[in-house]
Structure 1
């Protein structure tokens, strides 16, 4: 198919609109629950007091701020796809921002800036402290300032909202891939997000992966839990043709979250049983490199070991738990994991420079075969 034909076809899937709206209009939409800024996202996005103040300063000075992108839901409500922090900052300053439980949050106070040092300590309106409040004229002018709003209309293909969010929040963004995915999940199905988070916070799972606090803050534990789910149910050969593995994980996540046939309970049982057994046998050395010379596991977490061992054991977990746990079972599992590390195919593919398209199709079947009890 020619490029022009592809463009014409895809453009038919996207229906958009856009126009400037006053801050006052956006405030009213938010108050009437017609604008959803997803307060759950606050755990992923968080500006400093200085960043928040500079946005308010820009509005007071009439400096244009970037467009807000929204997606119109079937019920007419606008989902904020990009602009969460800008709108949250405005609503928090005015004193109408609500948390996940619909409880009003305290209004924010500004800090001084180079341009307007007198902003220090200022609030929107406080009858008990009029000296530190914006006066009536300032508040009126503030609400009359306009922000350009780009709208993905409800007639658009359902996937457009998620594609737009992903593009806007990965290009030049400080969010990790999984933090972006988490935001997508909250929009797509909040219950799936909460379920995935409960798996990623499982104490036995966290003990076995033993990743740094920084990686936990960036939600890498949730990415690993998601990888376990996806790699447990796909044909490993699917990965051979993948050009962007992160995008592959995201697309599979969206498919699974929207699939009513996916059995969360069955997957959760497999997940928790797998990591309980691994924690009991290996603890925090589960996915470390095994040194035959030193006779021990050592070093940092290795994703190739996770793929071979966690997925391989997960596919055989029912057979393992059918055996009464004892020292013989423990030694058998340790021996099989050592066998994985000694395997030539694994040795050739566990390093960081190995392409995922060749690693996953080889290591998943390898782990599954060796880890049969």
Structure 2
């Protein structure tokens, strides 16, 4: 099925949680020893083709061992706890007995028919990887977006590595970066440019809100290039005028170093809605940014107990008005 293109293993989202060589060797050991292996989940389209939803590493490990995984060198195993003799073995040197055992092993496949409902595979992937997983919400979203729209997935990765974006978010911590906050911010900026505040439900979970607002966003997906350019133009203005202070709080005459998400969001929204005025008069953005922390809007969106989507809705409704008292009358 894999050789004929009837089973899709997409390397673009596979790489986000690639097994280490020790994990792959351990899996092959389990296959040989007869240790039970979890089922794989696939979605089947109207033509009968499979899109692997859960089980990418198990399938790709077997294919790599057999030397069939595209763009990968054949797998050379490491010695394992119960089979140390696997060290430096590949498929050819594994021996006919072990080869025969692996070829006869059964792995159950749960097939989900997505021919009439393409969104079911995204929902299934999220459910399979939300509970009891070490993946961050953004890592899960990466895969869901890759399955839904490859171009959006690639652009998000590209923008997160952009030097200008990195400059204005240079104070993101290593831990936040390991959880892919940078990519989540890019996804959120797409939403801020293309989703109306009135359509936002303040009680929604942030991660579900971001994912659903991207997958079902016709305004974004049909005009991805122009939205990307719009986003970059906002980042350029922020970088030019505020530089590395763009996501920092200005207090007592100086900038603190800590990354503050609401400040980044408010600055992005203000810049996006007032680009032309700011281009003509750069000090407008600098003055705005220094007033954020003491503003009624900032106090409103950072008050204890406010939900993240409610915060985003308030910021977007205000469009840069720092002293709006009730930016979200409908929330």
With structure 1 as the length reference, what TM-score do the two structures score? 0.80
Name the SS of the counterpart of 2:292 in structure 1.
Answer: helix
Q: Structure 2 unaligned runs (5+)?
A: 324-331
User: How many positions carry a matched residue from both structures?
Assistant: 322
Name the SS of the counterpart of 2:133 in structure 1.
Answer: coil
Q: Structure 1 unaligned runs (5+)?
A: 1-28, 100-104, 126-132, 324-328
Q: Shift of residue 149 of structure 1?
A: 0.2
Please point out which of 179, 186, 191 is paired with 2:139.
179
Name the SS of the counterpart of 1:280 in structure 2.
Answer: helix
Residues 351 and 206 from structure 1, CA distance in 2 versus in 1: closer, same or farther, beyond 3 angstroms? farther
Cα distance in 1 between the residues matched to 2:78 and 2:260: 44
Q: Shift of residue 332 of structure 1?
A: 2.6
Q: Shift of residue 152 of structure 1?
A: 0.9
Aligned pairs for 1:105-144 within 5 A: 105-125=72-92, 133-144=93-104
Verify: 1:341 aligned to 2:293, yes or no.
yes
Please point out which of 32, 48, 54 is paired with 2:4.
32
Residues 155 and 264 from structure 1, CA distance in 2 versus in 1: closer, same or farther, beyond 3 angstroms? closer
Verify: 1:230 aligned to 2:197, yes or no.
no
Q: Between the two structures, name the one with larger relative contact order (CA 8 Å, sep ≥ 6).
A: 1
Worse-matched range after superposition: 116-125 or 83-92: 116-125
Verify: 1:307 aligned to 2:261, yes or no.
no
RMSD: 2.2
Aligned pairs for 1:264-279 within 5 A: 264-279=224-239
Verify: 1:317 aligned to 2:278, yes or no.
no
Worse-matched range after superposition: 355-364 or 164-173: 355-364
Q: Conserved in 1, the CA contact under 8 Å of 2:209 and 2:309? A: no
Please point out which of 326, 332, 337 is paired with 2:284.
332
With structure 2 as the length reference, what TM-score do the two structures score? 0.90
Aligned pairs for 1:192-203 within 5 A: 192-203=152-163
Larger Rg computed on CA atoms = 1
Cα distance in 2 between the residues matched to 1:353 and 1:121: 55
Please point out which of 27, 31, 34 is paired with 1:55.
27
* 1:103-129 Cα deviation digits (max 9, x unpaired): xx211122222212222222110xxxx
